[in-house]
Amino acid sequence: MDNYSFLQKTLHKISLGNKLIKKSLFEIEKNFFLKKENFIYNNHIFITGLPRSGTTSLLNFFYLSDDYASPTYNDMPFILSPNLFSKFSFNKKIKKKERIHNDGIQYDQDSPDSFDEVLFLTFDESEIIHNYVNFISLILNKYNKTKYLSKNNYNYKRTEQIISKFPNSSILIPFRDPLQHANSLISQHFLFSEKQNSDHFILEYMNFLGHFEFGINHKSWFKPVKYNNFNEINYWIEQWYLFYSRLEKKNLNKNLNIFFINYENLCKNKNSKEILLKKFNFNEKNEFSFIFSEKEIKYIYDKNLLNKCNEVYKKLSNSSLI
């Protein structure tokens, strides 16, 4: 997004910035490519949680098995009409490179990413789930697969709807040491704010995709209770607490379709990949490593708040798959 040509930027603005165009192309796509095959009961994977918790690593691990279909950069910018424009290339070929987050994660033209939130921004509440089912069908059709793979940090609030539509699906919710996690979030907030100030298209691009996790247009997951300054780490620690304490209190682990995953264990446990492979019944066709990251904390933080977070972290760890 940070080196797109004028034509590419214009196409993104036209195709992603106009609801009427997105809806119209989606209707055309359905008329030509929507199939009536029954895929509802297949073992789809939905990954959600706070960003910087390992969601992208899990996405890439599952995707490299070649068992799943997921929206990729090949589908941009006409993300809601993947089959209609499959013969055209609107992005110059992206060679494998580090993504804009500067976190060592590589991507290229064929990489999956968190794109399906575009659909949720396009349609009214009454239309969303029905159209989400249709969108998944279209992605499966394009890539000739039977199982869908999604990474969407906002699907945490749609778990019940997803499970009701896809009863054999699995929802994976990774979580991470709260202080390290908050430190990663505030670092990304500063990074994206700087990049968006220097290049307005990066801000527009993030808005088009519904990415408000950090940067100038950051939106809180939950209304702040005590801390509301995005530039202070206590804000991000409190958001961690509000996010994961509510998920823990909902006892989501009692739902057989929902699995919490401890990020530290995922990276350090030698058997973590085997656990995932066995649990979700797929094969590792390409070698993949989960990389552990731990940074020095240079901020002053609310120790009482962090203690509350650590209690939630322990509870989640006790009920996690890994």
Rounded to an integer, the average pLDDT of 127-139 is 96
- pLDDT of 1 over the 90 cut: no
Question: 142, 66 in Cβ contact below 8 A?
Answer: no
Question: 173, 261 in Cβ contact below 8 A?
Answer: yes
CA distance 112 to 258: 22
Residue 86 makes CB contacts below 8 A (sequence gap 6+) with 74, 142
- pLDDT of 149 over the 80 cut: yes
Q: Mark out the alpha helices in the chain (DSSP H runs).
A: 6-16, 19-33, 55-63, 117-122, 125-143, 159-165, 178-198, 200-208, 233-249, 263-268, 272-280, 303-319
End-to-end CA distance of the chain: 34
Question: 186, 233 in Cβ contact below 8 A?
Answer: yes
Ordered by start, the domain boundaries in the chain are: 6-319
The CATH number that domain 6-319 falls under is 3.40.50
- pLDDT of 155 over the 70 cut: yes
Q: Output the average pLDDT for the chain.
A: 93
Quick one: pLDDT at residue 102? 85
Model-level pTM? 0.95
